Amino acid sequence: MSDVKLGVNLDHIATLRQARMISNPDPIEAARVALTSGADMIVMHIRGDRRHMQEEDLERMRKEVRCFIHLEMAANDEMRNIALKHKPDSVCIVPEKPGELTTEGGLNLKDKSMVKEVEKTIKALSDKGIEVSLFLDPNADDIRTGYKIGADTVELCTKAYSESWGKKNQAKELERLWIASYLVKELNMNLHSGHGLDYYNVRPVAQIEGMECLNIGFSIISRAVFVGLKTAVSQMKEIIG
């Protein structure tokens, strides 16, 4: 068995549901399938524009499914209040930009106003026993700032790695992830990764020393269209093992 946990992001189950604004497909039902197929935790991102997951999804997930819930959210008053109300097991603070198709990279911790909001969010959630992760590019300065403001976990953004073409470029981006992972572990923080990981590029990231959890959504849901969610999750779990 692998020591690397698999967090399955079900946002795009909700995306499909929202296309018709009806009750199916139900993320709660999808969570049960994922958990019985190898998922270690359920990941959901409540965005400001509510394009997929809704607050009601988090509320139902907390009440109806016995599982570890990992909420992705921006650092603002609205999302802090949602997290404090429904108490997910952990939260990953991610950047959001109006109109973006998906998260475009890690938090900009060179922005002092961003750092202030993130630090405020970390304190509010940590005081209630909620583990807090920061979605960061593999950048030493950002990782050190995340440590200083009290984050428990760093989720390294694997966007550059996942989108790199050719063995040379991919090896360069993988090396950046390795170097960043050494710093995360040196600071005694938890180490996660995610963004753009799929069935063809995930194994080298899973093999990074100290890697504890990979959060993967789009590629799993995409494969599920053809093979079913149970098979898609179990295949991913087998690869990272």
| Cα–Cα distance for residue pair 215/226, rounded to 1 Å | 21
Measured in whole angstroms, how far is the alpha carbon of residue 215 from the centre of its chain?
Answer: 5
52 included as an active-site residue? no
Q: Is 75 exposed, middle or buried (0-12, 13-18, 19+ CB in 10 A)?
A: buried
Q: What are phi and psi of 92, to 5 degrees?
A: -115, 120
Asked whether the CA dihedral 173, 174, 176, 181 is positive or negative, the reply is positive
Q: Which of 52, 86, 192, 195 is catalytic?
A: 195
Q: Which of 72, 119, 155, 173 is catalytic?
A: 72
Apex 209 CA angle, 207 and 213, nearest 5: 70
Bridge partners of 6?
214
Contacts of 152 (CB under 8 A, 6+ apart): 90, 126, 131, 132, 133, 189, 190
45 included as an active-site residue? yes
| CB 177 within 8 Å of CB 156 | yes
SS (H, E, C) 75-91: CCHHHHHHHHHHCCCEE
86 included as an active-site residue? no
Q: Which of 12, 45, 52, 86 is catalytic?
A: 45
Active site residues: 45, 72, 195
